[in-house]
A = this chain, B = another copy of it.
Amino acid sequence: MALTTEQRIRRAAIKLFADKGFHGTGIRDLAQAAKISSASLYHYMGTKEDLLADVMRECLARLLRAARGLTGEDPRDRLAGLVALHVLTHATQPAETRVVDHEVHVLSPTVRRRIVSLRDEYELLWTETISDGIRAGVFQDAEPVVTRLALLDMCNGVTRWYSPRGPLSLEQLATHYARLALRMLGGPENDFSFPVQRAREVVSTVWKRTL
């Protein structure tokens, strides 16, 4: 049940990149945290940038998979689900999400493109949901593109401050954010039947396997 060397490296990378940033983390820091020599790191990874990209890719892939796992015909339910998923992911995987959200700019252009396109794929789900809602008349918003960005930025922020030891449970957090989102889109705030508990399970499943 002990972690494999590869997993230890990824865990170390996530923690350190999240805490000190990519440029603030040295190869020796990684090696020490992963309990191997710095030379041995290079058996398991390409360059330091490759390690970062791998971590990002895997995290985004999981988020995307989770989001795709969401069903629901009603756009309000789908949006509430996306928000809950996103918020819960950021609340329970703060290190991973910090890396994904904050370190894109250090990637070289080629690598960055691949990561960003994954992110775009994910954001497309939000875009579609919002469009569907507007088309169906359940959302009112004059600037859906901007609102989508505002929603995502708002939800991303959770990674920076949420603490399970704080006053809010994960359920309360997710529910509150879902309400905020619906309000932002001009819908009655409680008009969604998405079971937040369901989002927790999805997040939990997707992140069960050690990265």
- List chain A positions with a Cβ less than 8 A from chain B: 19-24, 102, 105-106, 142-143, 145-147, 149-154, 156-158, 160-161, 167-168, 172-173, 176-177, 180, 183-184, 186, 189
Contacts and interface: CB of A to CB of B under 8 A. Distances in A.
Given A183-B184, A183-B186, A150 B154 contact: yes
A181 to B, nearest CB: 9
Contacts of A146: 168, 173, 176
B143 A153 contact: no
Number of copies: 4
A21 B152 contact: no
B23 A21 contact: yes
Contact of A184 (B23, B24, B152, B184): B184
Contacts of A168: 143, 146
Per DSSP, are chain A's interface residues mostly helix, strand or loop, or mixed?
helix
A186 B142 CA distance: 18
Nearest to A106: B24
Given A143-B168, A156-B157, A168-B143, A180 B23 contact: no
Contacts of A20: 105-106
Contacts of A142: 176
Contact of A157 (B21, B23, B153): B153
A188 to B, nearest CB: 11
Contact of A150 (B149, B157, B189): B157
A180 B176 contact: no
A177 B150 contact: yes
Contacts of A147: 176, 180
